[in-house]
Structure 1
Amino acid sequence: MKIFKRILLLILAVLTVVIIYNYPKLNLLAGYSAKNTASSVFLANRTVAFTDKTDNNFSPVNLASNKVDNKKKIATSSAFGLLTRKAIYREGLGSVLMLTEEDETAPYLTPKRLFVENELAYPYGNTSQKDTIFKNIDYQQLKKSVDFLFDSIHKTRAVLVVYKDQIISEKYADGFDKNSKILGWSMTKSILSTVYGIMQHQGKLNVDDKAPIASWKNDERKNITIHNLLQMNSGLEWNENYETISDATKMLFLERDMTKMQENKPLVGTPNNTWNYSSGTTNLLSGILRSQFKTHQEYLDFWYTDFIDKIGMNSMVLEADLSGNYVGSSYSWATARDWGKFGLLYLHNGNWNGEELFTKQWVDYVTTPTPGSNGTYGAQFWLNAKNKFKDVPKTMYFADGFQGQRVYVLPDNEMVIVRFGLLNFDENEFLKGVLKSCNQ
């Protein structure tokens, strides 16, 4: 009996150590699940069952159990009953993880949207396009290339191909259609970059200026420019690792104000000479944008009134942290067609149906390779400058999000291609096939 008790105590001791060691990971696990569930259910109008079966079905997130309160619009996720996280949906701001019970009833501002109804066809409106057959398009080849991503392996949700402003291919997985909002993840970084481009065009800021961070004024970080931050080339310390507890995961799942983590990091490299991909940098840039406006309301509104709603991306919702900052690193939702409009804005060099939101110079700026990135990164956009995708023009550039969310801009081909899914894929093979169908 004594031996049995000792063995039992030993087992309990081991379990206690395991739980204590893994508790921070459980916090992130439950946090991811709660946030994703709240956004999927209350923002994208999916069911909990669908979300659990698709979005939350990978290890270790699938170990959490989820439930929602439809009246309060709260999602609760439990990790083995040992730790529980809650996320609340706020109209106009999306979902956010709660850190205290008071967050449930805390007041908040919402962005003022500008919805303009017109009878124009896509992309300048939302009515149906006239049937257009391009003689140089091999539609069978195009269908084959798109269908390639819709097998059981690739877990693709949506593909949209736009050529000369005409949708020439559009396909959705079961459970999705042209009205489905889909999370862009880090494609949001390209949205943020565009806001900078518009503000620069309007004379509201200059990206070559020193970053207006008071805490950097008296140390070696004082020479970091907004340009350095946009290129992820500030030299600041940052750990972008989603497989463990890192700067990135702590920021997204534990911080009230996500703009501050990167600000508080030391300089470990040289500005303009130390490229390091950092979601913290993008959220710092979101905070800098907020400081350019007299009021919080103006900051919330500008992204929509002068950009998103202006080009008819009316399905888009930018999610904010508990402090009211848009999470520019990670959280924006929109339909595939609206993401296509975003790509077309760049294809047309910032001109939207006759109105100039930014110039060709801004396009040149965001597609200029960052020193140290080996030609793969610009200003919050990814590049093909060194032919990483060998069968695709070097001039192609794209917004890139976790699990293979993509908006490709192909200026040489007058084409924008959108892809959403749950897994990365052979991008070169897919793009090669689509381009092969276009006999220019």
Structure 2
Amino acid sequence: MKKFLKYFALAIVVLFVYFGITTYPKLDLISGFSAKSTASGHFLDNRPLQIIEQGDNDIPLVNLAANSINEAGKFAVSSIYGIKERKAIYRVGLGATLINEHFDTSKPYEVPRRTNAHINLPFPYGDKEPKDTVFSNIDYKKLNAAVDNSFDKKGEKNKRTRAILVVYKDHIIAEKYDANFNKNSRLLGWSMTKSITGTLFGILQKQGKLDINKPAPIAEWKKDNRAKITLNDLLHMNSGLEWEEKYDKICDATKMLFQAEDMSRSQLEKPAAFAPNTHWNYSSGTTNLLSGIIRNQFKTHQEYLDFWYSALLDKIGMHSAIIETDMAGNFVGSSYGWATARDWGKFGLLYLHKGNWNGEQLFEESWAKYVATPTNTSNGRYGAQFWLNSGGYFPDVPKEMYYASGFQGQMVAIFPSKDLVIVHLGLSEKFDFNGLLSEVVKSIK
């Protein structure tokens, strides 16, 4: 018996040591993810806690978190086994922000000034319902089968699609939502937000406020080997700066999203690992650095907050859209953009029409070609804050297709010669995009 107790005690010690080495350091990130996800899903989209825990937070380790929502205080709290408690607060206009113990919740803050003028036109240029148009060159049976096959049957949890929208010649030709979601549901785009952030540089360049081919305007870089890094390099994820982005471990990206107070500085403070334009490396830190650079184009924080909406989101009628902020008040341009499927579709249409929105040119036509041109060393996979199919990553999909892409299968796919935009929002990295995209394209003769 003593021998058994000795081995049992040893096993417990080993278990605790293993837990301490492998899991405990992650707990702050896990509970942080859970608190932020819970606050955003509930206060931005009115989701009950049960739906959030069974869907948004149903990720290994994250699903261990215990969550609570405080309606009166507008915040969510999460912890793992009662430890590493994290809190995310909700503020109208700014969305949910994961905070730390140093954050002053009583401090006044500014919010974007939104415009939501009623436009008496059908989708996509106004507030009325889309026209019910039938195209003779579309095989609707094949189209609807492709869309229907992208959703789980009752009781399944494999494809995990939440919304699909197909827009052809400015008309919605297919639209479907999973249970608990509809045309008014705000859905997180994750890294599709990067494409929104990048677009603002096209707008600023058209307005003559910056030149993307000039060195990035960062004072800390002017006296070292980062001085030659251009905005073009940053937009292409080709700066050569050190960065690690792997979401199954503690890395630069997870520490930034779930611990940093000012996310715009996470990449700024990294040293150069390679010369610019020689080594492509996907980095959410780079996009949040770009958000910080946008901030520095304006004299006041209010102007910065307003610009994202007045110059782009509200301009094209993405009135459901919210870009959430970090503790320092910067838009998290890498990851935290929310919108309805229809509004994500409008963003795709802006690029389909090469920056022209119902007669107004928001960015130069050449910008659409710029973002869809392969970055050096990316093997045809990446342009400027957009992903590409020029290398045939999706083998049965036209190579001209380029797209905004986000974690867990978010996509706004643009097919220039097909006059087509396809939106997918869901919860699975393993979703068959090649199948969906190719079948929709085949349905249009």
What TM-score range do you get, normalising by the shorter chain?
over 0.9
Gaps of 5+ in 1: none
After TM superposition, list the pairs within 5 Å mapping 1:26-425 onto structure 2.
26-100=27-101, 102-151=103-152, 152=156, 153-424=158-429, 425=431
* Secondary structure of the corresponding residue to residue 223 of structure 1: coil
* CA deviation after TM superposition for structure 1 residue 16, in Å: 4.6
The residue aligned with 1:430 is 436
Distance 1:103 1:422 in 2: 34
Tell me if structure 2 keeps the 8 A contact 1:197–1:358.
yes
Distance 1:204 1:417 in 2: 32
* Secondary structure of the corresponding residue to residue 89 of structure 1: strand
- Which whole-Å deviations, capped at 9, do the CAs of 1:370-418 have from their partners, x for residues lacking one? 0000011000000111222222222110000001100001011000000
* CA deviation after TM superposition for structure 1 residue 338, in Å: 0.2
* CA deviation after TM superposition for structure 1 residue 3, in Å: 6.5
Matched residue type, 2:141: Q
Instruction: State the TM-score, normalized to the length of structure 2.
Output: 0.96
Tell me if structure 1 keeps the 8 A contact 2:103–2:327.
no
After TM superposition, list the pairs within 5 Å mapping 1:3-14 onto structure 2.
10=10, 13-14=13-14
- Which whole-Å deviations, capped at 9, do the CAs of 1:121-158 have from their partners, x for residues lacking one? 00001212222110000100000010110123211000
Distance 2:411 2:106 in 1: 36
Distance 1:150 1:87 in 2: 31
Tell me if structure 2 keeps the 8 A contact 1:393–1:412.
no
Gaps of 5+ in 2: none
Distance 2:239 2:103 in 1: 36
* CA deviation after TM superposition for structure 1 residue 68, in Å: 0.7
Tell me if structure 1 keeps the 8 A contact 2:287–2:333.
yes
Deviates more, 1:412-421 or 1:143-152: 143-152
* CA deviation after TM superposition for structure 1 residue 247, in Å: 0.3
Tell me if structure 2 keeps the 8 A contact 1:98–1:104.
no
Instruction: State the TM-score, normalized to the length of structure 1.
Output: 0.97
Distance 2:361 2:386 in 1: 20
* CA deviation after TM superposition for structure 1 residue 24, in Å: 1.7
* CA deviation after TM superposition for structure 1 residue 292, in Å: 0.8
Change (3 A) 1:366 1:102: closer
* CA deviation after TM superposition for structure 1 residue 159, in Å: 0.3
* Secondary structure of the corresponding residue to residue 263 of structure 2: coil
Distance 1:118 1:284 in 2: 35
* CA deviation after TM superposition for structure 1 residue 6, in Å: 5.7
Distance 2:143 2:5 in 1: 69
- Which whole-Å deviations, capped at 9, do the CAs of 1:6-25 have from their partners, x for residues lacking one? 66764664455345323221
Matched residue type, 1:84: E
Tell me if structure 1 keeps the 8 A contact 2:403–2:412.
yes
Distance 2:212 2:193 in 1: 19
* Secondary structure of the corresponding residue to residue 126 of structure 2: coil
Deviates more, 1:9-18 or 1:242-251: 9-18
Distance 1:263 1:24 in 2: 25
Change (3 A) 1:259 1:101: closer
Distance 1:289 1:381 in 2: 18
Matched residue type, 2:40: S
Distance 2:396 2:4 in 1: 66
Matched residue type, 1:186: S
